[in-house]
Structure 1
Amino acid sequence: MDFTHLYADFGGEVERVLNMCDGVLLVVDSVEGPKPQTRFVLDKALKLGMKVLVVVNKIDRPAARPDYVVDKVFDLMMDLGASDEQIDFTTVYASGLQGISGMTPTDMASDMKPLFDAVKACIDPPKVETTEGNQLQCLVSNIDYDQFKGKMGIARITNGSIKNGQPVALARPGKQKKTGRLTSLYVFDNLGKKEVDFASAGEIIMFSGLDDVEIGDTLITNEAGGANAAEPLPPIAVELPTVQMTIGVNKSPLAGREGKFLTSRMIRDRLFKELDRNVALKVEETDSADKYAVSGRGQLHLTVLIETMRREGFELEVGPPVVIYKTNEETGALEEPFESVEVRVPEEYSGSVIDLFNTRNGELQDMGLDDGGESMSVIKYLIPTRGMLGLRSEMLTATRGTAIIDAVFDSYRPKIAGEIQNRDKGSLLAFEDGTTTTFGLENAQDRGKLFVKPGVEVYKNMIVGIHQRPGDLAVNICKTKALTNMRSATKGITVGLVSPVELSLDSAVEYLASDELLEVTPSAFRMAKNPDLIKKGVKK
């Protein structure tokens, strides 16, 4: 199953990159046409006034329908309010696999020269609005780190020029300037970078020498105290996070056996260090000294961070994802995030998909057959973000892995009353501490689907499977077969173990209920009931 939340969840990176661009190439599939994530990125580019060069890729596909795709792009740009100049776009047809391109689908060159020529002809050169005295203005859009040079800023020079070694300052409206001197200056060359002594307006640079540089700062000159320096540019506006999870110290009975970084201080330093690069992320202290509330643009945004930390050697305890509500300043009403979702699924499974969305308060926007002749239904829904939590696993089961979902943040809307049931089945819990046995698992697998195999160490209240009914059930999967000299009539009959369900980080996070936690180690994912809620007597 293909879930493409990438563009929406990493919208912070998209917005920063667009701030350094003069125009965009809109690459669309020659069969599928523009997707919801295409709409997200294109909307950002159009609002920045950029020209768009449309590239219809995979033109060599047998089912290619370039005229249909170009019409869909035109309709999309109309919906997004593109200007007359933007909507008069140029179209290039290409095949990245074969390395060919052309201005018509039937007249293709043997290389990518038509595409490169179209870029030069259609995309405007950098526009430089000269400030008084042509003073330097350079908005920092990204951060990198070098073990020898330290923190490095990446920015595009909007006005003026800059020299290596000159005194500079980092300015932001309403804040005090941070001064320093450049110790190195780079420009980007092909796929790498090269060190230079001078750079001028229109170039994208990387610089070091200012360890307190932050995304959204404006680099300006600071000669003679900077009295004649240009004003700082408006900081990059990034949409607010919509999903929050808690990340903290792993406190399970099996903690501390694998990870190199275990303590609250190590986890805190790593999370706050991530803020240097990840402008769409938010980290907050909580009432507990060993837990931190981490907010992001979506579940994928947060799980990528968790997976990165796991590979670095961290052990973590992760709470279930929850959506972030906000209050409308004008009406005072409580609002929640909604997502626009498009599902492509074989016709025979469309009924199951609709049932899943309806039980999660989804609102049907559109439904029809795909024009590609593949007997695929296209279903579009508007659904609360909290209704999307845990939907992937159920969709995978209901459609036997054939559904393709594209989802993107739509807007904040008034909160829908009532709770959304994200899971209709309970969990199988380990009855006691111990090591799983074949005999115990054979008896337990009749109760549901298991996550573990024989010889795995477990602890009490650890989640070892999915119960086939609502409500949790404790199972003794460490039970050993009693030794006896009595012959049973069924002694020679063996049931055999069913292969356990593979547990990935994404599937585990989706599975979590409000009273459950995920234990993340460099080599394993384990889920368990929240011991703090059990001690307080919270009903499961």
Structure 2
Amino acid sequence: MEHKKIINIAVIAHVDAGKSTLVDALLQQSGVFHENAQIVDLIMDSDALEKERGITIYAKNCAINYKDYKINIVDTPGHADFSSEIERIIKTVDTVILLVDSSEGPMPQTRFVLQKSLELGLRPILLINKIDKKDQRAAEVVNEALELFMNLGATDEQLDFPVLYGIAKQGIVQKELTDQGENLIPLFETIINHVTPYPDLTSEPLRMQVSSLAFDEYIGRLGIGRLFAGTISEGQEVTIAKNDGQLAKGKITGVFVYEGLKRIKKQTAVAGDIVIIAGISDISIGDTICDKNNVVAMEPITIEEPTLAMNFLVNKSPFAGKEGKFVTTRNIKERLEKELEVNVGLRVQPLSDSSVDGFRVSGRGELHLSILLENLRREGFELAVSKPEVLLRRDDVNVLLEPMEEVIITVPDEYSGTVIGKLNLRKGTMLNMDMVGTHTKITYSIPTRGLIGYQREFINATHGEGILVRKFSGYEQYKGEIPSRGNGVLIANELGTTAAYALGALEERGSLFVTPGTKVYEGMIVGIHSRSNDLVVNPCKNKKLTNTRSAGNDDAIRLSPPIIMNLEESLEFIENDELVEITPLNIRLRKKWLNASERKQYEKQEQTPVE
């Protein structure tokens, strides 16, 4: 079989640096689409949540041809919570295109993805994107990137990286900042000149490692990964070296490769290509597909451990089962087991308390878990979830450790003092502060605990003008107690429908989450109290009607717009004695104990000192 020149590349960057936009341009300029094809923006972000949020959540593959080369492209997530996607994909590529914003420079997540690439010995290509920005500082950003390479221990060969400049949105890349770019040819040429195509290992025994999974309703579970050696064919009998060391027999029933965005069926695939295989129903990430007579397992794919956990509980509110299709423990268990097959950064355990129906689910961050919950909600699931908790650990000398994050904040100068004060209260330590024009750029090291519930407060404190980016940085000694939410909540005292008359009176006590005509139940949270204590209220009370009429008494009630919180904001807002009730139609906040007397009993137990 004739050997093909195959190069696999990954596009890596911080969130919103332009990765998916660059992949769009690469696909368009390589002739993947027909002349009359209707092309949408962010082609690779095919998931509904990815399109809505404008972020890449799942790593995805495509392939283009340039001259006599086949270039497989992996579009990776930029958000720290989905770094497990990057960790396993990076082993399948020959180089990475490191995309850096010409204004922002290297961000926390840039450091993470670059470190993984350098550890594997890859030689990156640096592309300074968005050079059309008015505040671009491309020359400084190149120096900052070089400094980052050196800090991460890059070799002399890795430090000799090519630098390109571009505007991904316009499909332009140029070799010098002063050039007049027209297309992506400088990038294509740099890739084929900088990277040696995968060597011809087709005569060696089969060796392929599965780096991601997919599912097809017709052919079942699919394993996706790089074919490191040999060839793989439809009908071939193989041995699977599992991640846990066990061996299993299998037969390949289908072989596919990428051409453009499509999955193309092949009789045989060759070494170097990214291949999709069918026929092995229990294939898992990290498994090695080997020749049946020559089993050589590859090094297991290790994923960093989760840092955050929450309880997924069966919904037992008075409205349970009225809006969702899947509401039982069995439904939730089956769906979480299915998610574990493809979401390698996730951990699921049954709750240790046998009296509570649910599971403890651990992930890499609030966004990682909230994306899962949002998908469950859209699929028709109904459940309740607890406040996110950080996962603590102990070191060799039994010192309690907690996860820490590096946070880079850019805010207008007038809000910097407020932000610094709040982060200090949350046990943060300032690492650096720079003045950039009319803005202040602050770098903090802060416990993950300190950032739970801070996002909304940050947006309010900076009037929506601040930018906060964060990255897990490791474990440090436990920093002590962190102040919780300052305000109490307004709690409904009965089952019913809210009335404008009652809500008008409650506005004096705080800010509301509900509008007139909203169905509520006892123990449901209907607003934020203006004071620190919780307050039980009746939002369903109607005005008593009389025959007496007087001027001014019956004016229309004008209510302020309610606070509408999305799923992430709801998870950040709740305290330990509260839950978020999630259904396909609504997101509600509630107390764990709906009855007032049960809540008092719980409070007494909490206040009782442990001897």
What TM-score, normalized to structure 1?
0.94
CA distance in 2, matches of 1:296, 1:423: 23
- Quick one: which of 250, 256, 259 aligns to 2:321? 256
Distance 2:360 2:550 in 1: 56
- The partner residue of 2:373 within 306, 314, 321 is 306
> Distance between the aligned counterparts of 2:183 and 2:561, measured in 1?
49
1:152 aligns with 2:217: no
Residues 90 and 321 (structure 1 numbering): CA distance in 2 closer, same or farther, change over 3 Å? Answer: same
The answer to whether 1:396 aligns with 2:468 is no
For 1:100, the equivalent position in structure 2 comes to 172
Say yes or no: does 1:467 pair with 2:467: no
* 8 Å contact kept, 1:7–1:41: no
Deviation readout 1:75-124 (Å, 9 max, x if unpaired) = 11111111111111111111112222210111123111111111111123
**Is contact 2:523-2:594 (8 Å) kept?**
no
Secondary structure at the aligned position of 1:104 is classed as: coil
Give 1:357 deviation, angstroms: 0.5
Which secondary structure does the structure 2 equivalent of 1:397 belong to? Answer: helix
Q: How many angstroms does 1:333 deviate by?
A: 1.2
Instruction: Provide the C-alpha distance between the structure 2 equivalents of 1:388 and 1:34, rounded to a whole number of angstroms.
Output: 22
Letter aligned with residue 241 of structure 2: A
Number of the residue aligned with 1:350: 416
Alpha-carbon spacing, 1:444–1:173, altered in 2? closer, same or farther (3 Å)? closer
Structure 1 position 490, deviation (Å): 4.6
For residues 263 and 130 of structure 2, the distance between their equivalents in structure 1, rounded to whole angstroms, comes to: 31
In the other structure, the counterpart of 2:252 is: 182
Report the secondary structure of 2:406's partner residue.
strand
- CA deviations over 1:416-467 (Å, ceiling 9, x no partner): 22x2123111111112111000001000011111000000000011001111
The amino acid across from 1:138 in the alignment is: M
Residue type at the aligned position of 1:513: E
Q: Which residue of structure 2 lines up, in the alignment, with residue 412 of structure 1?
A: 475
Corresponding residue for residue 379 of structure 1: 442
Equivalent residue number for residue 385 of structure 2: 318
Conservation of the 8 A alpha-carbon contact between 2:524 and 2:594: no
Answering whether residue 574 of structure 2 is matched by residue 508 of structure 1, we say no
Identity among equivalent pairs (%) = 42
Aligned with 2:326: secondary structure? coil
Q: Distance in 2 between matches of 1:69 and 1:174?
A: 43
Give the corresponding residue for 2:301. 236
Question: Following the alignment from structure 1 to structure 2, what is the Cα–Cα distance between the partners of residues 137 and 76?
Answer: 35
Q: Secondary structure at the match of 1:169?
A: strand
Q: C-alpha separation between the residues in 1 aligned to 2:243 and 2:575?
A: 43
Structure 2 Cα separation of the partners of residues 39 and 320 of structure 1: 29
Return the match for 1:445 from 507, 514, 535: 507
Residue 232 of structure 2 is aligned with which of 162, 166, 171? 162
Contact 1:25 1:54 in 2 (8 A): yes
Deviates more, 1:434-443 or 1:495-504: 495-504
Q: Give, in whole Å, the separation in 2 of the partners of 1:502 and 1:124.
A: 53
Contact 1:14 1:41 in 2 (8 A): yes
Partner Cα distance (2:504, 2:594) in 1: 31
Paired residues of 2:201 and 2:230 also in contact (CA < 8 A): no
Measure, in 2, the Cα distance between the counterparts of 1:392 and 1:126: 45
Q: Secondary structure at the match of 1:310?
A: helix
Does residue 417 of structure 2 align to residue 368 of structure 1? no
Q: Which residue of 2 aligns with 1:60?
A: 132
Q: Which secondary structure state, in structure 2, belongs to the residue aligned with residue 97 of structure 1?
A: helix
1:433 aligns with 2:498: no
Q: Does 1:51 align with 2:123?
A: yes
User: Out of 186, 189, 201, which is 1:117 matched to?
Assistant: 189
Query: What is the CA–CA distance in structure 1 between the aligned matches of 2:168 and 2:114, rounded to whole Å?
Result: 21
Q: Residue 492 of structure 1: CA displacement?
A: 5.1
Distance 2:573 2:360 in 1: 19
Write out per-residue CA displacement over residues 261-312 of structure 1, whole angstroms, 9 at most, x where no aligned residue.
1111011000011001001100101124621000000111000000001000
- Distance (Å, rounded) in 1 between the aligned partners of 2:520 and 2:244: 55
CA shift in 2, pair 1:174/1:41, >3 Å: closer
Unaligned runs of 5+ in 2: 1-15, 17-52, 56-76, 607-611
Number of aligned residues = 528
CA distance in structure 1 between the partners assigned to 2:244 and 2:466 by the alignment:
49
TM-aligned CA distance change 1:62 to 1:416, over 3 Å? closer
Using CA pairs below 8 Å that are at least 6 residues apart, which structure has the higher relative contact order?
Answer: 1
Corresponding position of 1:72: 144
Q: Map Cα deviations across residues 132-185 of structure 1 (whole Å, 9 max, x no partner).
A: x82111111111001111111001111222222110121036532121110000
Quote the Cα distance in structure 2 between the aligned partners of 1:415 and 1:64: 40
Q: 3-state DSSP class of the match of 1:262?
A: coil
Q: Which residue in the other structure is 1:519 paired with?
A: 581
Equivalent residue, structure 2, for 1:334: 400
- Let me know the Cα RMSD of the aligned residues: 2.0
* Cα distance in structure 2, aligned partners of 1:174 and 1:215: 11
Write the letter of the residue equivalent to 1:230: V
Which residue does 2:49 correspond to in 1?
none
Mapped to 1, the partners of 2:360 and 2:205 lie a distance apart of 41
What is the match of residue 204 of structure 1? 274
How far residue 495 of structure 1 moved from its aligned partner, in angstroms, is 5.2
Q: Is the 8 A contact 1:7 1:40 kept in 2?
A: no
Partners of 1:166 and 1:523 in 2: how far apart? 48
The reply on whether 1:24 has 2:96 as its aligned counterpart is yes
Which letter maps to 1:415?
Y
Structure 1 residue aligned with 2:360:
293
Paired residues of 1:426 and 1:467 also in contact (CA < 8 A)? yes
